[in-house]
Amino acid sequence: MKKEEISFEYQVFDDASSLMEADRSLLQKAKLATQTAYAPYSQFCVGATALLANGATVSGSNQENASSPAGLCAERVVLAAAAASYPGIVINTIAISYDNKRTSISDHPVAPCGICRQSLLETQLQQQTPIRLVLSGWEGNIFIINDVRHLLPLSFTAADME
């Protein structure tokens, strides 16, 4: 038997004041996007804002549905909006934030769910450029992950089907 380990590094910032201006602005837009979420069931409002290579930003928020598999996460909404509005333009960074209306506590970063991780990775593979993530609640620490591959180790991709 052989043991192997998978690990990755990410940056942790105490708060938004420590971020570069571009990341701070993007994160603020993601926080604002939480206000457009439709989350009557979970009360967990997520906002995401993508910065594209052409300088444009695109925002999205989670959209729940009584038929729960039919809902969409903010990350997939922003990926679709960017692809539809700016086809072929690379996504450089996506900031993701949330507002937990149920507990009123949004004080730490949360990472994308599994299907969003797969969707983010698929987009990154398609554009052949890493996508940075800036993850934060309304307050507290902020995580910066420089490559979405880190969130989905041992991923399943089109290459596995060749």
Catalytic site residues?
75
DSSP state of 33: H
| Tokens, residue 49 | 């804002």
**How far are the Cα atoms of 5, 8, 49, 117, 153 from residue 2, in angstroms, in the given order?**
10, 20, 42, 28, 18
Query: Phi/psi at 126 (nearest 5 deg)?
Result: -65, -45
Q: CA angle at residue 44 from 30 to 121, to 5 degrees?
A: 55
The helix/strand/coil state of 118 is helix
Closest CA to 155 of 6, 3, 4: 6
- With a CB cutoff of 8 Å and minimum separation 6, the contacts of 43 are 100, 101, 102
